[in-house]
Amino acid sequence: MKKLVFIGAGSMAEALISGIVENQLVDGKDIWVTNQQNEKKLALLQTQYGIHYTYDLRLLFQGADAVILAMKPKDAATAVSKIKDYLTKDVLLISVLAGVSIETIETLADQQLAIARAMPNTSAAVGKSATAIAVNQRVTEQQSRIISELFATVGMTAFVAEDDLDAVTGLSGSGPAYIYYLVEAMENSAAEIGLERAMAKELIVQTLIGAAEMLKTSEKSPSQLRKEVTSPGGTTEAGIQILQENGVQEAFIACIKAAAARSRKMGEELTERFQLS
């Protein structure tokens, strides 16, 4: 890739820049970044990753192969209206904007473009994101490979239908927060049973890492792995029984459904707002 452009310089943009540069997929000097007005952040990115930044849109888009939209979703209409005259059918447009559909982006750009939507999560910051990607029919096979390679620098990738992205948002997009919420509960319980907080955190984190590795490498289902740990009349069974009595599994299911529904609703609200503006 000759030139990669980022519109927006927040935490997700930085995570992607870091992963791309660290994995040597694109040289820092071939990455260009701009944002609305925070030049200090752009200068920091330049110092840390060797990228270029500019507010000159002509210079920014000159020779660009791919453009990543990484501003806040609410700012999409303003941002795309500013750059649409610099977009061409040869430029791959990639959005990481939650709730903003490919159709909406195309409408805002007022032209037919090769557009992809990607839904990474915050674990991209440590190279462990689960990223779902949807593309429109104008994205070529070569461009699809480029997209996959870009997001593979911050974790695993999977191509899905765009209609599935709301479900992905509810599951893996918001997923890290559910795990952190669980860890909060485990840390609080550790304090109540007399364990020192720092030691408890180490035990909890290693337990999560070990369980995740088992899920990743074993052919057994989560249910089977759980049953193998749960001896009749033992400690694990006592704990699982409390979780079942309190409907924890049902609560998690409802949680993910609610997040997916909210993602869908936010998308509808953004679409309506952009059409009215």
Give yes or no for a contact between 5 and 56, defined as CB atoms under 8 angstroms apart.
no
Q: Is residue 266 part of a domain?
A: no
My answer on whether 22 and 102 are in the same domain is yes
My answer on whether 91 and 17 are in the same domain is yes
Is the overall model pTM greater than 0.75, yes or no? yes
Domain boundary among 101, 129, 161: 161
My answer on whether 113 and 195 are in the same domain is no
Please choose, from the candidates 104, 164, 86, 17, the residue with its C-alpha nearest in 3D space to the C-alpha of residue 95: 104
Domain boundary among 117, 141, 161: 161
pLDDT in tens, 172-203: 999 999 999 999 999 999 999 999 999 999 99
My answer on whether 179 and 51 are in the same domain is no
Please choose, from the candidates 267, 260, 262, the residue with its C-alpha nearest in 3D space to the C-alpha of residue 103: 267
Q: Is residue 275 part of a domain?
A: no
Q: Is residue 77 part of a domain?
A: yes
Which domain does 225 fall in, by range?
173-258
Q: Is residue 249 part of a domain?
A: yes
My answer on whether 151 and 17 are in the same domain is yes
**pLDDT above 90: percentage of residues in the chain:** 93
**pLDDT above 70: percentage of residues in the chain:** 99
**CATH number of the domain bearing residue 183:** 1.10.3730.10
Considering its fold, how many domains does the chain have in total?
Answer: 2
pLDDT in tens, 6-31: 999 999 999 999 999 999 999 999 99
My answer on whether 135 and 25 are in the same domain is yes
Start-end of H helices in the chain? 11-22, 39-49, 57-61, 76-83, 102-109, 141-152, 165-168, 175-192, 197-217, 222-229, 235-245, 248-276
